[in-house]
Amino acid sequence: MAAALPLLKFDAPADAALIADYAVDALIDEAFLTPKPALVDRRGSGAHRDLDLDTMLRSARALRPTFAAIARAATGEAPSQALRERLARLGREGEHAMMTATGGSNAHRGAIWIVGLLCAGAAMNAPDDGDAICASAAAIACFPDRFAPRAAASSHGARVVQRYGVAGARGEAREGFPHVSRVGLPALLNARARQLNEDDARLEALIAIVASLDDTCLLHRGGLDALRAAQHGARRVIEAGGVGRAAGRAALAQLDRTLFALNASPGGAADLLAATLFIDRLQRLN
């Protein structure tokens, strides 16, 4: 696990370096979390052929300068077209750094968008105000990127959004990250209140997200069958009492096997779990 970062007190937005540290810490914590259904974790590569834990860690660490640059760019700013396009340029530079660090593997492309926007929101607001952070990030996301490469319109995510009519990562951002604020964080806090250990509390948050998210990663790799299998399996974990109970743990193992068989993994939910952990860490600053 990543070393625990100090919890300090802030009345104003946290500085860019600290925001970047917390963002990378969240990505690393998500990668280490085990057992996740068909995702890279300490057991292995999950349903992925081009990713493993070491690759995920190299990717996360390579993104620290990007997250810091995003936070610096947003400091003292309000959401605007100009800021949106500046952050998009920084995100594309971060994607290049990620691909270089991973030898071409797309480990955190979705997280650059999701966590990057939240880094900008964190630079604009008091760190313990998660709602304001999400609202600022959403306001930025609502501006179009006029300089986006043409290839972005034909990405896997874009094609899935068009084919299935789902929100995707861009819709999630523009709507204010509901799977962070209304799903992931409440599940995480509820699990802690029930005195689950921290890994199990984070797994509870992940399963809650999987149960309700129209995950474009699942749709890309396995279509509606994979999405429905993931959502149904996650709901079975919840109905069985969650991962802190034997029946819930068995249901989680069955979900893992099901998604392996479909060669699909909930990568979108993993990105939103990392975003949840990032906001949670910021909210505990004060």
What's the whole-number mean pLDDT along residues 40-64?
A: 94
Q: Is the pLDDT of residue 154 over 70?
A: no
The DSSP bridge partners found for residue 41 are 44
Domains of the chain (ranges, CATH numbers): 16-283 (1.10.4200)
Give pTM, 2 decimals: 0.93
**12 pLDDT more than 70:** no
Neighbouring-strand partners of residue 44: 41
The string over 26-58, giving b where at least 16 C-beta atoms fall within 10 Å of a residue's C-beta and e elsewhere, is: bbbbbbbbebbbbbbbeeebbbbeebbbebbbb
Residue 8 pLDDT > 60: no
What pLDDT does 286 receive? 58
Count the alpha carbons within 13 Å of 277 in the hemisphere toward its beta carbon. Answer: 31
For residue 143, pLDDT over 80 is answered with: yes
pLDDT band at 182 (very low <50, low <70, confident <90, very high): very high
Arithmetic mean of pLDDT over the chain = 93
Question: Is a pLDDT exceeding 90 seen at residue 187?
Answer: yes
Percent of the chain with pLDDT over 70: 94
Q: In a 10 Å sphere around its CB, with 0-12 CB exposed, 13-18 middle and 19+ buried, how is residue 103 labelled?
A: exposed
pLDDT of residue 232: 98
Give yes or no for residue 4 having a pLDDT over 90.
no
Mean pLDDT to the nearest integer, 156-165: 88
